[in-house]
Amino acid sequence: MSEKNLRYSLYLGCVIPNRYPFIEQSIRNTFKELGIELVDMQGASCCPAPGVFRGFDITTWLVIGARNISIAEENEADITLGCNGCYATLLEVNYQLKHDKKKRDMVNKHLAKIGREFKGTIEVKHLIEVLYYDFGIDKLKDYVKIKFPDLRVGVHYGCHIIKDSSHRPWGGEFEEPRFFDELVEITGAKSIDYKDKLMCCGAGGAVRTASLEVSLDFTREKLENMRNVNVDCCMVCCPFCHLQMDLGQMQVNDKFKDIIGKSYKLPIIFYNQLLGLAMGMNPGDLGLVATHDLKGVPPFISIQPFMEKIKEQMI
Amino acid sequence: MSNLLKNNEEIKIGVYVCDCGINIAGVIDVPALTEYAKTLPNVSLAKEYKFMCSSIGQEMIKEDIEAGLINRVIVAACSPRMHEPTFRMVVKEVGVNEFLFEMANIREHATWVNLDDHEGAFKIAKDHVRMAVAKLSELKPLEVERVKVEPACLVIGAGIAGMNASIDLAKEGYDVYLVEREATIGGHMAQLDKTFPTMDCSACILTPRMVDVGREEKIHLMTYSEVEKVDGYVGNFDVTIKKKPHYVDQEACTGCGLCAQECPVICANEFEVGLGIRKAIYIPFPQAVPGEFTIDMIKCIKCGICASLEVCEPDAIRFDDKPEYVDVKVGTIIVATGWDLYDPTELKQYGYGKYPNVINGLEMERLLSSFGPLEGKPARPSDLEPPHSIGFLQCVGSRNFRPGGNTYCSRVCCMYATKQARQYKEKHPEASIYIFYMDIRAFGKGYEEFYESAGRNFGIKYIRGRIGEVYEGEDHNLIVRAEDTLLQKQIEIKLDLLVLSCGLVARHDAAQIASLLTIQRSADGFFMEAHPKLRPVDTLTDGIFIAGVAQGPKDIPDAVAQAKGAASGAASLMAMGEFAIEPYYSVVLEYKCSGCKSCQSLCPFNAISFDVFKNIAVINKALCKGCGTCAAACPSDAIVQNHFSDDQIFAMINTAIPPLAKTENGGK
Amino acid sequence: MGVNKMAKVQEDFDPYILGIFCNWCTYAGADQAGTSRMQRPANLRILRVMCGGRMEPLMVIQALKNGADGVLVSHCHVGDCHYVEGNLKTFRKMPLFIKMLEQFGVNPKRVKYTQVSASEGAELTEIVKEFVKELKEIGPNPLRMEE
């Protein structure tokens, strides 16, 4: 893996381009620094979402997922992505269609109508997997130029990156995963354990869509648990978690103001942003600097406290 | 009456098709099958009957033979593994060689697997009958070999099952070689404090048995020993036993224990499941049998303190001790190797190994034991304070349908958790005890009453719902989250101590033992019985029996019952004095053998030797086990396996496919 | 692959499979499948040998010559042979033999080689189901069609 030039089709999904575009910036720029080539997927659509779509109609879910995968197959490059939900969908669709000829034939009958075909020639990998295994965490350590030993991080895995464990590359680990913590800790930061660390953020599985209040209750509990251990930021690897913990935090501060005491002010950071800072990159290239003062644009919770902590170490 | 068929005597086959109640008749047209059988070559008559294995069915066959109508028999019914011996006896009784009999399996292999496809089942039944007729036409009469059975038994494992089997056999006058891997007999039962449902003190009921074992003259006890090699066959097993070096002269040692007092090396005591200590020179527990000491050479630092005469007056220490190999000849073997406890470390959600106050069932047992590390005053590991609240989680490592999990129920955990809970409640009535369960299995004599009383009289709270996650609060207290499914609500309980009622698993080296003895294991990893209903302590290898948890999880009364059953099985073999071996051995046709020696290296039983004068291979029919590998390999086709010769097998192959394309395909 | 031009794939083709099973493992496993009433398509006939080692390639060839659409050879898992190593001998022979069949113009898919233990009735059932499916795809034994 180390000698070959790594090349992937970048799948963006929906939340990143539509709601949190700075995540894309951080991904592209960090991967460029690492020498990993990213190829665009022309015409890619919504994955489709594992909760809302898969729960409604399996055929639609399989066919649209297969269509996205066929675009990457044309690129002749494995898919990499930065969203747990898209990961769940594309990985599962890829696996099912590779192993079940009946399903594959059915899907290809539909795809033939638009001149496409699922061939089963590529793999689907979360960018955390690409960094940890394909690129290699040991090699990644060599790229770290600045360390942040005083930074206390509450790592939030999310759900779909580790479950269901049978189709994940982490060696069956889902009760006590360490791989994301390890990636965070190569920057010198400390991953702080907190109560119910593996709890869902509340967004996925159509919960945010169906009942905002229920999803925010999850978020509130996570924020409370992280506040209790006094972390400087919450690290995520999924834009939907990012949205729920960021926009959702603002909504929690409003809806639950009677029971939470002081409002939450926890900066939410996407992994590539931290990685880029550790690699000595410009914060402006990582989506960490506001270039406007429009309202209603993320991040909704200020990341200034995080940037202060970072700046202390950068001097 | 002549048993042997002369070469030119006409072959007259009788085919008997069994209805087997509705098992066969309910799926295929038995009369039609019987009519079909009549059309086959060499078949003189074909009949049907409801239950061929019944005395009426058997009489039918006998009458037809005695009337001279037939001289070979086919029964089309169940699997030969079921009733071949039965019918062989029948034909033998009226003078027909019992190997001129064949069964066509039309139940297990046809009707039972095609309950709805009557036509398909019928086709397979016809084919199997046709194949059987073809084979039977080629079969030759064989004489049964009788071998002497050595009146001695090897019992592997000296736990409660092994000990009971040994004592019964010794009382009957047989020599018993009782081999135990640990330095003491007693097995896991010695680690228990009380036994359910009587709350008998385990040591009190166990130690008299242990002493009996030591006292019986016919029991040759070898502790700290392992079985190295087993050769031979039923009645004549050649066993090599490795007696591991004690580094202490077992004759000279008086068991005074001064050496252990002076030994400077402290190690974890396996008997105490790591909760207690022992020295490098040790006996596992005070009432160990034998009472002589052993040095754990891996931990010993050879300081020599124990060897000095002030410490060891009888001068029993021997640092230059070597393993001793003992060869014994036995007629039967009983495997009673017991179990290991499931290791719950892999179930990360319960925190075993991470949180000090999460322990397993055996550890709890030692904490409760009056001669355990805390002398019967249980306390929790983190601060050695008696817990005010204890939780028991059932079905840990059992009834687990995740990939790689043990799907079976370990049978004893519901009862041992209830027992441990009651024991603790008796000492600490104010403590809160919760048992988190899926189902409570209290099936044995007195078990239901025991369980009822635990809830009603002792106030132990049974919560129907599993623990989802365990995590630590302050002070190493545990917070468990569970669902009370009867109340339909989630609960969060703070506990001082959590006991994981781990299940029983096959010993970690069960695969090696199985290989050593060529016995099989069931899907759950325990040794496989010959028949799950009717032969629970036999194995498929004649002369080898299994007893106790080695066969599958069970409680003490069932283990003892199986031990007695295995002893009885072994005793009947040894009492008969001889055993009839199936004569499926292979024979070298001298005129065909070219002396190439290809066969010699193939035989794992060393049954093939080479006659340098005649320049041919020779097979020892006593050593030959009848696998047929040499027969398959011989380039000259000079080796014939009795009852499975090329002629016989190819006769089946040539008639297997219904006449459609080719005919006239005799032989090769 | 030796597809006989005379062989026409019949729509209602019911493959004929001959199984050569060892007594201690696979035959017992087939018994277990029967006792547990595990249903399977009615295509398998079973021939019993005491050990997988007794199996000779000529037996498979003869079966195919006689028109069997498929032959299933099965015995104990490696390490579990009742006669210690009989299964190992067959384990060595079979892959070479199946390759050789290919060179003789026989579709290698017609011979299936598996290891099934006495407690694996369920696995055997699945193997047979899959074998029937595969044989239906490749069609009847061309030698069966001649006549």
Under 8 Å between Cβ of A126 and A10: no
Residues comprising chain B, all counted: 668
Same domain, A274 and A161: yes
- Does residue B667 surpass a pLDDT of 70? no
Pairing of strands B43-49, B13-18: parallel
Same domain, A189 and A98: no
Residue B368 Rama label (left phi>0; alpha psi -120 to 50; beta): alpha
Contact state of C31 with B108 under an 8 Å Cβ cutoff: yes
Same domain, A32 and A156: no
Distances (CA, A) of B148 to B144, B623, B640: 13, 13, 26
ipTM: 0.91
Domain final residue pick, A74, A91, A126: A126
Kindly identify which residue of chain A lies nearest to residue B472, measuring between CA atoms.
Answer: A195
Contact state of C79 with B515 under an 8 Å Cβ cutoff: yes
Which candidate from A166, A175, A195 shows the least CB-CB separation from B348?
Answer: A175
Q: B240 — contact with chain A (CB < 8 Å)?
A: no
Domain final residue pick, A97, A126, A155: A126
Pairs of CB atoms within 8 A across A/B: 6
Same domain, A156 and A251: yes
Chain B nearest CA to A174, separation (Å): 9
**What was the pLDDT predicted at B8?**
63
Pairs of CB atoms within 8 A across B/C: 175
Contact state of C47 with B522 under an 8 Å Cβ cutoff: no
Dig out the tokens for B25 from the structure.
């008749």
Same domain, A118 and A220: no
- The mean pLDDT of B619-636, rounded to a whole number, is 88
pLDDT in tens, C33-49: 999 999 999 999 999 99
How many CA within 13 A on the CB side of residue B553? 22
What CATH number is given to the structural domain containing A175? 3.40.50.11810
Same domain, A155 and A83: no
Q: Which of B349, B401, B481 best tests the A interface by mutation, with the highest count of A CBs <10 A? A: B349
| Separation of alpha carbons C114 and B295, rounded Å | 48
Q: Which of B573, B535, B575, B551 is nearest to B161 (CA)?
A: B551
**What was the pLDDT predicted at A2?**
46
Under 8 Å between Cβ of A276 and A31: no
pLDDT grade, residue B668 (50/70/90)? very low
pLDDT in tens, A237-259: 999 999 999 999 999 999 999 99
Residues of A in contact with B348 (CB under 8 A): 175-176
Same domain, A184 and A263: yes
Q: Other CB atoms closer than 10 Å to residue B579's CB: what's the count?
A: 21
- Does residue C145 surpass a pLDDT of 80? no
Q: A176 — contact with chain B (CB < 8 Å)?
A: yes
Phi first, then psi, for residue B622 (nearest 5°) are -75, -35
- Does residue B418 surpass a pLDDT of 60? yes
pLDDT grade, residue B252 (50/70/90)? very high
Provide the percentage of residues in chain B whose pLDDT is more than 70. Answer: 97
3-class SS of residue A65:
helix
Q: Is C touching A (3+ C-beta pairs, cut-off 8 A)?
A: no
Provide the percentage of residues in chain A whose pLDDT is more than 70. Answer: 98
Q: B287 — contact with chain C (CB < 8 Å)?
A: no
Mean pLDDT, chain B, integer = 92
Contact state of C34 with B633 under an 8 Å Cβ cutoff: no
Q: Which CATH class is domain C17-137?
A: alpha beta
End-to-end CA distance of chain C: 22
Q: B483 — contact with chain C (CB < 8 Å)?
A: no
Same domain, A40 and A164: no
Residues of A in contact with B471 (CB under 8 A): 195
Which candidate from C42, C54, C118 shows the least CB-CB separation from B644?
Answer: C54
pLDDT in tens, B2-26: 334 455 678 999 999 999 999 999 9
- The mean pLDDT of B480-493, rounded to a whole number, is 95
pLDDT in tens, B317-362: 999 999 999 999 999 999 999 999 999 999 989 999 999 999 999 9
* β-pair partners for B610: B617
Chain A nearest CA to B346, separation (Å): 10
Is the bond preceding B197 in cis, omega lying within 30 degrees of 0? yes
Same domain, A113 and A170: no
Which alpha helices (DSSP H) does A131-211 contain, by range? Answer: 137-142, 179-185, 207-210
Instruction: Say which residues have a Cβ less than 8 Å from residue C136's Cβ, sequence separation at least 6.
Output: C13, C15
- Does residue B487 surpass a pLDDT of 70? yes
Which candidate from C14, C53, C65 shows the least CB-CB separation from B632?
Answer: C53
A187: in domain: yes
Same domain, A111 and A150: no
Q: Which domain holds residue A108?
A: 7-126
Provide the percentage of residues in chain B whose pLDDT is more than 90. Answer: 84
- The mean pLDDT of A186-208, rounded to a whole number, is 94
pLDDT in tens, B384-415: 999 999 999 999 999 999 878 999 999 999 99
pLDDT in tens, A10-53: 999 999 999 999 999 999 999 999 999 999 999 999 999 998 89
A119: in domain: yes
Contact state of B349 with A166 under an 8 Å Cβ cutoff: no
Distance of CA B27 to the CA centre of its chain: 35
Under 8 Å between Cβ of B134 and B316: no
Q: Which of A167, A170, A174, A175 best tests the B interface by mutation, with the highest count of B CBs <10 A? A: A175
As for how many domains chain A has, the answer is: 2
**What was the pLDDT predicted at C96?**
93
Domain ranges of chain C: 17-137
**What was the pLDDT predicted at A315?**
59
What residues 28-67 of chain C have any CB closer than 8 A to a CB of chain B? 28, 30-31, 33-35, 37-51, 53-56, 58-59, 62-63, 65-67
- Does residue A314 surpass a pLDDT of 80? no
Contact state of B121 with C42 under an 8 Å Cβ cutoff: yes
**What was the pLDDT predicted at C10?**
53
* B656, B659, B664, B665: CA torsion to nearest 10: -30
- Does residue C147 surpass a pLDDT of 50? no
DSSP secondary structure string for all residues of B129-175:
HHHHHHHHHH----PPEEEE--SEEEEE--SHHHHHHHHHHHHTT-E
| Separation of alpha carbons B223 and B259, rounded Å | 20
pLDDT grade, residue B661 (50/70/90)? very low
Pairing of strands B578-581, B145-148: antiparallel
What residues 182-211 of chain A have any CB closer than 8 A to a CB of chain B? 195
The pTM of the full predicted model, rounded to 2 decimals, is: 0.79
A156: in domain: yes
CA atoms B612, B617, B621, B623: torsion sign: positive
Under 8 Å between Cβ of B108 and C26: no
* Residue C17: its H or E element: strand C17-22
Same domain, A79 and A20: yes
Dig out the tokens for A222 from the structure.
């996570």
* Domains defined for chain B, CATH in brackets: 13-145 (3.40.50), 152-210+225-237+326-337+508-574 (3.50.50.60), 245-322 (no CATH), 340-505 (3.50.50.60), 586-642 (3.30.70.20)
Chain A nearest CA to B469, separation (Å): 9
